[in-house]
Amino acid sequence: LNRRLAEFGTTIFAEMSALAASTGSINLGQGFPDTDGPAEVREAAVRALREGRGNQYPPGLGIPELRTAIAEHQLRRYGLEFDPDREVLATAGATEAIAASLLALLEPGDEVIALEPYYDSYAACIAMAGGRRVPVTLRPDRATASYRLDLDELRAAVTDRTRLILLNTPHNPTGTVLTRAELAAIAELACERDLLVVTDEVYEHLVYDGAEHLPLATFPGMRDRTVTIGSAGKTFSFTGWKVGWVTGTAELVTAVRSAKQFLTYVASGPFQYAVAEALRLPDAYFTAFRDDLRDKRDLLSAGLADAGFTVFRPTGTYFVTADIRPLGESDGLSFCRALPERAGVVAIPNAVFYDHREAGAPYVRFAFCKRIEVLADAAERLRKAFA
Ligand code: PMP
Ligand code: GLN
């Protein structure tokens, strides 16, 4: 294994899902729903398979039906206009979109600012692209039970070598939804310092408590310098289909495609047809999806609090971060490795999402995209083990 990748080892999601399987624990680690998305969307995939649509290589940009549906979705939800033939690209999940964006846009030695804790593929993809990551740490605020971005710290992180900001809102693993003021400040900074932004918005539909997801591309000056990433895995609960997408200017999308064509070339043919239909589901689907996850968030958060954790209140995503120090623990990694034995539950140690590991040490992440009875069982197990 080369030096660029050596530090990364095996992704924590594989390690923890294997641990869940080998111990028969409830897996609240890796973020995947235990209920598949809408039946009619699954049927659309079956139809495409049967009718021989997408069983051979789809077009490099993605099938036109999907690109049109993505453009319509961005227009309908956010008032953002994209030309489906030049400004939209289907990818093998958001994961490939992230990799291709970084491989396409970075020169060796370029600095990339990422909000820490960050989704684990960011660091590895920055490294594969020869870039240098510069973490800006989201700080836990106990008073509001949330995480906040220090804008001065962000500004101070920009140097002459900074090429882009890799943003993620709603944010995995903290559940933070960046506010209008924070996004406006990021946009201003990007314009002032002539930076690109790759913004991972895969949890765009999962925002709670009246919070609003605002795509960075909607801010003044940002449409021309932003690559926006979405995922059908997250939005329609089909993580195995690996359908994601990129929207941006023709220049940026063409650049991302230049890398993408040599990674997978194309992927997920029949599923692209199904996702094209899914994106046209009525607003009621998206609202019900969000409300269901809000209820699950509330159930698991209450269970964690009962068990003795200090719980941060996620306003977005399907993850909740908890502080283990009230349980007399301080090292999330060893806590998570022991948790299956102690409680029959699997969680993810947030430390693996940090460069400043000590800043993330006492925090662990639980996924709540699981059936109510599974969450209730997990909460009960945690209560028995710790309360
Ligand atoms: N970005 C974030 C923030 C994620 O949480 C995930 C999925 N866990 C991805 C990207 C990857 O999405 P996909 O499954 O579409 O590749
Ligand atoms: N995105 C999911 C999570 O954060 C998992 C994705 C993966 O397994 N790579 O849990």
Confirm or reject: Cβ of 30 under 6 Å from ligand 2.
yes
The packing angle between helices 12-23 and 332-343, to 10°, is 20
Chain centroid offset of residue 234 CA: 8
Ligand 1 pocket mutation pick from 171, 172, 275 by most atoms within 8 angstroms of CB: 172
Single-letter code of the amino acid located at 7: E
Residue 250 pLDDT level (bands cut at 50, 70, 90): very high
Q: Compute the mean pLDDT over every residue in the chain, rounded to the nearest whole number.
A: 97
> From atom 2 of ligand 2, which residue's Cα is the shortest distance away?
31
Which of the ligands is closest to the CA of residue 241? 1
Confirm or reject: Cβ of 172 under 6 Å from ligand 2.
yes
Q: What does the pLDDT look like over 137-190, one tens digit per residue?
A: 999 998 999 999 999 999 999 999 999 999 999 999 999 999 999 999 999 999
Q: How far apart are CA 107 and CA 12, in angstroms?
A: 28
- Residue 367 CA: nearest ligand 2 atom is 10
Confirm or reject: Cβ of 13 under 6 Å from ligand 2.
yes
Give the distance (Å) from ligand 1 centre to CA of residue 95.
Answer: 6
Q: What does the pLDDT look like over 9-24, one tens digit per residue?
A: 889 999 999 999 999 9
Three-state secondary-structure class, residue 292: helix
| Residue 48, CA distances (Å) to 13, 67, 269 in order | 31, 16, 9
Q: How far apart are CA 306 and CA 55, in angstroms?
A: 50
Three-state secondary-structure class, residue 363: strand
Q: What does the pLDDT look like over 179-196, one tens digit per residue?
A: 999 999 999 999 999 999
Q: What is the pLDDT of residue 9?
A: 87
Which of the ligands is closest to the CA of residue 30? 2
Length of the chain (residues):
387
% of the chain surpassing 90 pLDDT: 98
Backbone dihedral angles phi then psi of residue 165, each to the nearest 5 degrees: -105, 130
Residue 334 pLDDT level (bands cut at 50, 70, 90): very high
> From atom 3 of ligand 2, which residue's Cα is the shortest distance away?
31
pTM attached to this predicted model: 0.97
- ipTM exceeds 0.90: yes
- Residue 317 CA: nearest ligand 1 atom is 5
Assess whether pLDDT exceeds 90 at residue 279: yes
Please name each of the domains of the chain with its CATH number: 3-37+284-386 (3.90.1150.10), 39-278 (3.40.640.10)
Assess whether pLDDT exceeds 90 at residue 367: yes
Assess whether pLDDT exceeds 90 at residue 119: yes
- Mean pLDDT across 83-99: 98
Confirm or reject: Cβ of 31 under 6 Å from ligand 2.
yes
- Mean pLDDT across 192-214: 98
Q: What does the pLDDT look like over 47-70, one tens digit per residue?
A: 999 999 999 999 999 999 999 999
The 3-class SS string of the chain reads CCHHHHCCCCCHHHHHHHHHHHHCCEECCCCCCCCCCCHHHHHHHHHHHHCCCCCCCCCCCCCHHHHHHHHHHHHHHHCCCCCCCCCEEEECHHHHHHHHHHHHHCCCCCEEEEEECCCHHHHHHHHHCCCEEEEEECEEECCCCEEECCHHHHHHHCCCCEEEEEEECCCCCCCCCCCHHHHHHHHHHHHHCCCEEEEECCCCCCECCCCCCCCHHHCCCCHHHEEEEEEHHHHCCCHHHCCEEEECCHHHHHHHHHHHCCCCCCCCHHHHHHHHHHCCCCHHHHHHHHHHHHHHHHHHHHHHHHHCCEECCCCECCEEEEECHHHCCCCHHHHHHHHHHHHCEECEEHHHHCCCHHHHCCEEEEECCCCHHHHHHHHHHHHHHHC
- Residue 121 CA: nearest ligand 2 atom is 9
